[in-house]
Amino acid sequence: MHKTGNVVVEGVAIGKIQFLNADYEEQIKRYMTGTEEEEKKRYQEAHTLAKDDLDSLLEDRDSLSENEAEIIEAHQLMIDDITFEDAILGYIEQKMSAPSAVLKAVEDFKAMFEEIDDEYLRERQKDIVDVGNRLLRKLLHMKEFSVVGADVILCAKDIEPSIMAGLSEKQVKAILLGSGSKTSHTVIIAKAKGFVTMVGVELDETEIADGDDIIVDAVKGEIILKPSEEELNRYKEQVQKQEEQRKYLMGKAKQPAVTTDGKEILVSANISRPTDMEKAVEYGCHGVGLYRTEFLFMESAQLPDEEKQVAAYRSVAEQAEGNLCVIRTLDIGGDKHCDCLSLEEEDNPFLGFRAIRICLQQKDMFKVQLRSILRAGLYGKLAIMIPMVTMLSEILETKQLIEEVKEEMRKENIPFAEDVPVGIMVETPASAVMAPLFAKHVDFFSIGTNDLVQYTLAVDRGNQSVSYLYDYFNPAVIHSIHRVITAAHEAGIWAGMCGEMAGDKLALPFLLALGIDELSMSASQAPVVKEQIRNLESGICDVDKILSLTTTEEVREYLQLSLIHISEPTRHAQ
C-alpha cells in the first residue's frame, strides 16, 4: 500500500515502523469494563506499574538532563497525590471504567490548573496529562514509548522538539509526522540529526502496526507500507547508492566551497547545543552561523546562570577550530516555550512577546547573556546576533547594553573579549525594508528566511493548512533578499543566510549571483551544498531577470533551468 507526504529531508530509508502518539480514546472504546471491585484493582495495579517505571527512569539519572529529572520527580509526586487518586476512585464508584475514570480525573485537574493565575502552576497541566497517560498505557496494556532496536521509522502526529532532540541517529532512520511544517522547530532538529523526514503523513494503526516493514521514499514523497520482496530489494539498492554518495561527499567535506570562478562561500552550521559541534566539524562546517541559544534556556528548569552560559559558549568557541561562531541572543517565544521564564500565554505568539522584545524588557537577564558571550569570546572568535529586530532602537539599545556590561566587567576585573562583532538577523519585513539604515549600525546581516517568509507572506510557519503559501521563492521574498544583500554590501558589511533556504540547492544560483558571503545550515546538509557550490559559477543566473519575474512558479522554473548547466559531479552529489 502506498501513501504520500511532503518531503522535508530527502533520502530513502527502510525500516520497521514505530508509532509515538497513542490514540487512547480509540483504545478505551475497545476496553471491557469489569465490576467496580475489578476496576479498582486494575487501577491499583496500573498505579504500581506506572510508579515502578518512574522510579526506574530516575535510577538512570546520568542519562537525563537536569530538567528531565525534575519533571520525572514532579510526576512521582503527582501519581501519589491523594486528591487525584480519590477523584479516580470516586469516578469508578460512579460506574466508570478505570481508564475513563483516569481520563475524567485528568480533565478535572487540567481545568483546575487552568484557573490558576500563576504561569508555573498552569504549566503543571502538562504533568497531569503525562501522568494520566502513563496510567492509561498500563490500564490499556499499551507499550511505553522508547525507541526499540535499530532502523526505526518513527511515526507520530507531532513530536515535541525536546523529544526529537533526544532521539538517537543510531536507532532512528526516518521521521513521519502528521502535522508540522517544513520550518517548525521539531523539523529543524530532525534535519540537524540527518533523519530522512516527511510531514503531512497520515498513517492509521489499523493499516500498519508497530514493527511492520515500511519504506520511506523521501525523494518521490512516497511511503510504502508492508512492501513486497521485490520493492524491498529495489530500495535496498537505492539505500546502498545513497550510502556511497554520502561517503563520497564526506571525503570532500573539509575542502572549501569555491565556485568555478573562484569565489569562496563560507558554509557554516546552525546548532542548538555545544554537543552539535562535533557533527559540525565532522561535516566540514566553517564555524557556526547560528547558535540557537534558547535551547540552553528551554532545557533548564531555572534561568541558566552566567557560569553555565560561559561554559556553553566557550565550548562552542573552542570546538570551532578558530572559525567565527555567531551566538544568537535568546529567541524565546513563538513556538519555543521555556519554563524558566514566566511568560503570559498569548493569542498570537509569533506576533507577540518574543526574542529581543523580551530581552530588552528583562534587561538583567539579557545582560547576563551578553556578559557570558563577551567572556567566552576569549576562547575563540564569537559574534553576537540579535533576533527579530524591527526597529533601529533595538539595535542601539543592545549595543548600549553591551557597552554597559563591558564597563561593569572592567570594574570587576573580569576579563572579556573587547572586539566581538554585533549583527542582526534580518527576519522581519521591517528589517528588510530598513536594511540600508540598519547596515550602518551593525557588523553583519544574517537573513532568517524561516521567519522572513512567515512575516512577509502572513503565513504561520507551523500551520500545515497554509503551508502551500509558504515559499521563499515568492517574488516578495526574493525582492527582500536582494534588497538586504545589496544594502549590506553597499555599507561594507557581510551578508549571510541562516534560514532553511540557505540549504536549498535551487536557491543557490540566485544567492551566489547576489554575492552572498555565508550560508549557514544543519551540519548534515553542508557537504552536499559545498559540492554544489564547487560546481557552480557565481554569475550563473541573471539577477535582473529573476527580479522581473512575477510568480513563485516562474522563479522556480528559471532557477531549475539555470541548474541544468551544472556539471556531472554536482549531479552525483544530489
Residues serving a catalytic function are: 185, 498
Number of residues that bind Mg ion (CB under 5 A): 3
Give the three-state DSSP class for 482: helix
Q: Which does 394 bind (CB under 5 to 8 A by kind): ligand PEP, Mg ion, none?
A: none
* Nearest to ligand PEP of 520, 562 (CB atom): 520
N- to C-terminal Cα separation, the chain: 28
What are residue 268's phi and psi, to 5 degrees? -120, 180
Site for ligand PEP in 230-249 (CB under 6 A): none
User: Does 127 participate in binding Mg ion (rule CB under 5 A)?
Assistant: no
**Contacting range for ligand PEP; rule: CB under 6 A; set: 6-14, 447-455, 477-485, 545-553:** 447-455
Under DSSP, the state recorded for 184 is S
> From edge to edge, which strands make up the β-sheet containing 11-19?
2-4, 222-225, 213-218, 11-19, 152-156, 172-177, 196-199, 6-9
Window contacting ligand PEP (CB under 6 A); options: 6-14, 54-62, 408-416, 445-453: 445-453
292 scored as a contact of ligand PEP (CB under 6 A):
yes
Please give the Cα distance from 242 to 191 (Å, whole number). 17
Nearest of 557, 504, 554 to residue 532 by alpha carbon? 504
Which residue's CB is nearer to ligand PEP, number 336 or number 534? 336
Residue 499 lies near ligand PEP (rule: CB under 6 A): yes
User: Taking CB under 5 A as the rule, does residue 451 contact Mg ion?
Assistant: yes
Near Mg ion by CB under 5 A: residue from 200, 284, 333, 448: 448
Nearest to Mg ion of 184, 525 (CB atom): 184
Q: Give me the 5-44 binding string for Mg ion, x by CB under 5 A, dash otherwise.
A: ----------------------------------------
Asked whether position 451 contacts ligand PEP by CB under 6 A, the answer is yes
Q: Cβ 273 to ligand PEP, closest distance in Å?
A: 14
Asked whether 453 and 472 are in contact (CB, 8 A), the reply is yes
Stretch that binds ligand PEP, among 164-172, 442-450, 521-529, 555-563 (CB under 6 A): 442-450
Q: Which does 499 bind (CB under 5 to 8 A by kind): Mg ion, ligand PEP, none?
A: ligand PEP
Least distance from C-beta 290 to ligand PEP, angstroms? 6
Find the DSSP H helices in 206-266. Answer: 229-251
Give the number of residues in contact with ligand PEP, rule: CB under 6 A: 10
User: How far apart are alpha carbons 393 and 438 in whole angstroms?
Assistant: 10
Residue 293 C-beta: closest distance to ligand PEP, Å: 10
Residue 295 CA to residue 15 CA, distance in Å, equals: 30
Q: Choose between 448 and 503: whose C-beta lies nearer to Mg ion.
A: 448
Candidate residues 309, 329, 369, 450; the one interacting with ligand PEP per rule CB under 6 A: 450
Type of residue found at 108: D
CB atoms within 10 A of CB 337: 17
Partners of residue 456 on adjacent β-strands: none
Among candidates 331, 476, 319, which has minimal Cα distance to 389? 331
Q: Within 209-228, which residues bind Mg ion (CB under 5 A)?
A: none
Q: Site mask, Mg ion, residues 414-443, x = CB under 5 A?
A: -------------x----------------
What is the C-alpha separation between 132 and 108, in angstroms, rounded?
12
Residue 450 CB, nearest distance to Mg ion (Å)? 5
427 binding ligand PEP? (CB under 6 A):
yes
Sequence-distant (≥ 6) Cβ neighbours of residue 550 within 8 angstroms = 475
Q: How many residues does the chain have?
A: 574
Q: Which residues contact 326 (CB under 8 A, 6 or more apart)?
A: 268, 287, 288, 289, 290, 291, 382, 383, 384, 385, 423, 444, 446, 498, 520
Please choose, from the candidates 5, 19, 327, 290, the residue with its C-alpha nearest in 3D space to the C-alpha of residue 147. Answer: 19
User: Using the rule CB under 6 A, which residue among 10, 39, 217, 331 binds ligand PEP?
Assistant: 331
Task: Select from Mg ion, ligand PEP, none the partner in contact with residue 474, using the beta carbon and a kind-dependent cut-off of 5 to 8 Å.
Answer: none
Residue from 184, 300, 309, 449 that binds ligand PEP (CB under 6 A)?
449
**Could you give the CA distance from residue 43 to residue 255 in angstroms, rounded to a whole number?**
61
Instruction: Name the residues that contact ligand PEP, by CB under 6 A.
Output: 290, 292, 331, 427, 448-451, 498-499
